[in-house]
Amino acid sequence: MTNANIQHPLENGQQVVMVRSTASGFEQGIAALTGLCTAGPLGAIAAWGALRGLQGKWMPWALLGVPAAPILVGVQIAIGAAVLAPAAAPLFEETPDPVVPQSRTYEVPDAAIQRGVESVKEAIKPAAPVLPAVVTNPVVATNTGGAPSNTCWFEMASGANKGSQCDVSSRINANGHNVIDLVEPNGTKRAIVLWQNGDAEVFLNSKRYVGTHNTYGDRVSVTVGKGTFQFIAP
């Protein structure tokens, strides 16, 4: 409460005392603490400002604070949720369980599905590159002269047939497949896998080539792209 001497508004020269009620610092602290406990930080500020504005009148202050408290709490919750939502979103995302690869065997129910599977395999089969130093069509070559028997034949770019004494052997690889190793006299090595459906895989200089094969007695002809070579099966 404060007192001040002011000029009387009706009688000239007459001074009167104006009494103005104000909230003390202790009362303002009590109001701010009450607002903080009931409505959070915004409630503390609003309660302190309201008591000062109402000049320390507690009854109007309480009547304003009761309905204002839940509103201030809701506003603060909304603000907090908006601020924390981006940071907390990853915590609520469901982490998928890791998929453990499993080996399964499926039975083809009928011939139509089997044909469809074969069609898909043919469609995704990579195009076979041309095997180096092998060019033109299959040729059945024969040995001539008294030289030792040739075990492999290659058709050169000039069209001539070149027979060589290659080292031809077979082995079983880690996958259980029969692999034929064909080594030329100059050390060039080819690893060949012949499949029952007529396909052939040739591995040369760490590259894989896909082609086809045919058998003439003990002689095998392998065609990759536009090139063909032959060898005596081990």
Residues of 57-89 as b/e, b for ≥16 C-beta within 10 angstroms? eeeebeebbeebbeebeeeeeeeeeeeeeeeee
Alpha-carbon distance 234 to 218, whole Å?
A: 8
* Tens digit of each residue's pLDDT (9 = 90 or more) over 118-141: 777 776 665 555 444 443 344 444
The share of the chain scoring above pLDDT 90, in percent, equals 21
Tracing tokens 């770019």 back to the chain, one arrives at: 157
Give the pTM: 0.38
Comparison of pLDDT for 64 and 222, the residue scoring more: 222
What is the rounded (10 degree) CA torsion for 154, 160, 161, 165? -80
**pLDDT surpasses 80 at 195:** yes
- Residue 144 pLDDT: 44
- Residue 163 pLDDT: 85
* Tens digit of each residue's pLDDT (9 = 90 or more) over 41-67: 887 888 788 877 777 778 887 887 788
